[in-house]
Amino acid sequence: MSVPGPLHSWMQRRRWAMRRGGGAWQSPPSMVLRLLFPVLVLVLLTSLEGGNAARWGSGSAVDDGALTSGDLVPTLNAETFNSSLLAAPANWALVEFYANWCPACKKYKPHFERVARLFTGPNRVHEGVVYFAKVDCADQASQKLCERFSIRYYPSLLWALPPVLAISSRSAKIQSPLEEITNAQTAEALLEQINKRIGKSFSLSDATTEDGKASGTNTSEPLQMPASLHDVEEATAQAFKIIVDEKMLISDNRGSFVQFLMLLVVHHPSERCRKGSANLLVNLAELWPAGQVPTAAFLDHPLCGSGLPRNFWVSCRGERRGYSCGLWLLFHSLSVRVADSESAAAFSAIHSFVEHFFNCQECQQHFLEMISRKRDVIASQEDLVLWLWHAHNEVNMRLAKEEEVSKIWNPNYPKVVWPTRQQCSECRVVASVEKASSTEEPEWAVKAVYKFLKDWYGASLLTFPDTIHEGVESEGQIAVSRGGDESGRNGSSAVRNIAAVAILLASCGFGLVALWWRMQQKKRKAAYSSCCYAYGRRRRRRI
């Protein structure tokens, strides 16, 4: 009987070993059983894993799913995880937690990679949208990381803004914006889950055209990034740093600075920025005596607490974004917090901030020109909120036209009239079909817009725990919440006495400025109406 090659050589090796007196002779059938044993164990493990194996990767697999090196998706560990996510060149992150021995993970790999291929690697179609990464929890170097995210089964998919993943852990009850993606067993299902989260309808068949642009489904819709408190704080801290670095604190600007500082003390959505501004304000006479240059202690003052600015953005991530985006978020989130009686003074504070401290000349000129065209008096919070919104939209539309000419834009953030229909359908009066890059304003339902803005920059402002600012990776819970004030350790603590006094003083001071400003506005309005009345009479006479 002829024996197949490998078995024959195995028999020869065994006979040779027997002749040397090693081991008992085994018949080929028992050896076959021994060879099959690992396979049987593997099958058993797969079936024991049951639900999970059946749930993940049960669709048509594209390859055998072996986890080889040189994968499309980078494998991160405890050492590389945070830095990679902080530097992730995308607005969202999706991390697969798996174990290299897990059969379900191996089956799932081709599905995960099929979706990843759209967003990463040399043939990516949608750049800068989702950062894909994976963590092998069976690797010793990743175990702490998997504990930090309470990974209980494999594969587990976590979805968040990249910095959120970098700085947080996971609570038992998963809350947005750090969430687990379930029901994503196949590539199609996973992409559907992603689309749902970013308001897109990407398809697995999307491809790049010859000029390198993405073809396929609604690729030019802007991403819907919620406004985050982190960015409002970051913009505040960066603003102060720029003001100091660029030596803008001259005697002539002292009044504008104090006015803006008072606005921050009273209405900044972040407690740490209110405290920092309050400390500066209450010590102003010593730190920046009138008629003198600011002292070194003034210049070193951490306006939003130590560790800020941290030089990364959450909502304002991305090319040609960052500080100017953060500044808009700061202005809008201040506007929704002022009282009616303070609105005019708040407007004046923002006006003089842009005039004296926003060192983008073109932006400054346009902004001042918009103010000079303003005829209505800011008399309420609603006036202020809507004026800023309208001015911002005017900038958006101007930039949209410029982008059309220059052909330079961030494909994820094309300039559009805002809010988009997806964000607020009731904000538009007419249900007309608009292009995503439309440079024309729709007819707005202004009351609905006001309500939307109050919520977007008020109650819905994303906040993170203090760990984001201290760089501490808490093993405890992530308490991502919405609404402005931080929910971390300091969030609930009472404002220190000194800061409380300063806040009180600033509130009174700000109230007085508000009163003075309203009187000025009234005088101006009276002058304007008498001038227009005279002008009208002259015109009528001529007619």
Ligand X SMILES: Cc1cc2nc3c(=O)[nH]c(=O)nc-3n(C[C@H](O)[C@H](O)[C@H](O)COP(=O)(O)OP(=O)(O)OC[C@H]3O[C@@H](n4cnc5c(N)ncnc54)[C@H](O)[C@@H]3O)c2cc1C
Site membership for ligand X, residue 235 (CB under 6 A): no
**Sole residue written with tokens 């594209």:** 62
Site membership for ligand X, residue 392 (CB under 6 A): yes
Identify the CA nearest to 385 among candidates 342, 414, 353, 416: 342
Site membership for ligand X, residue 327 (CB under 6 A): yes
For ligand X, which is the closer residue by CB, 362 or 475?
A: 362
Interface map 418-437 toward ligand X (x if CB under 6 A): x-------------------
How far, in Å, CA of 443 to CA of 81, rounded? 46
Catalytic residue among 102, 146, 273, 325: 102
* Segment contacting ligand X by CB under 6 A, of 24-32, 94-102, 394-402, 489-497: 394-402
Q: Taking the mean position of all CA atoms in its chain, how far away is CA 87?
A: 13
Q: How far is the CB of 323 from ligand X (least distance, A)?
A: 8
How far, in Å, CA of 265 to CA of 273, rounded? 7
Are the C-beta atoms of 312 and 224 separated by less than 8 Å? no
How far, in Å, CA of 307 to CA of 244, rounded? 17
State the DSSP string of 144-188: HHHHHTT--SSSEEEEE-HHHHHH----SS--TTSEEE-S--SHH
* Segment contacting ligand X by CB under 6 A, of 126-134, 253-261, 359-367, 460-468: 359-367
State the DSSP string of 74-135: PEE-TTTHHHHHHT-SSSEEEEEEE-TT-HHHHHHHHHHHHHHHHHSSTT-SSTTSEEEEEE
SS3 assignment, position 288: coil
For ligand X, which is the closer residue by CB, 225 or 513?
A: 225
Q: How far is the CB of 456 from ligand X (least distance, A)?
A: 7
For ligand X, which is the closer residue by CB, 52 or 381?
A: 381
Active site residue 105: yes
Site membership for ligand X, residue 474 (CB under 6 A): no
How far, in Å, CA of 254 to CA of 285, rounded? 11
Active site residue 424: no
Q: How far is the CB of 224 from ligand X (least distance, A)?
A: 8
List the alpha helices (DSSP H) in 423-486: 446-454, 467-470
For ligand X, which is the closer residue by CB, 193 or 396?
A: 396
Site membership for ligand X, residue 367 (CB under 6 A): yes
Site membership for ligand X, residue 351 (CB under 6 A): no
Q: How far is the CB of 414 from ligand X (least distance, A)?
A: 8
How far, in Å, CA of 349 to CA of 228, rounded? 22
**Options 186, 259, 381, 393; binder of ligand X; rule CB under 6 A:** 393
The residues that touch ligand X, with contacts defined as CB under 6 A, are: 225, 227, 316, 320-321, 324-325, 327-329, 332, 354, 362-363, 366-367, 389, 392-393, 395-396, 399, 413, 418
Active site residues: 102, 105
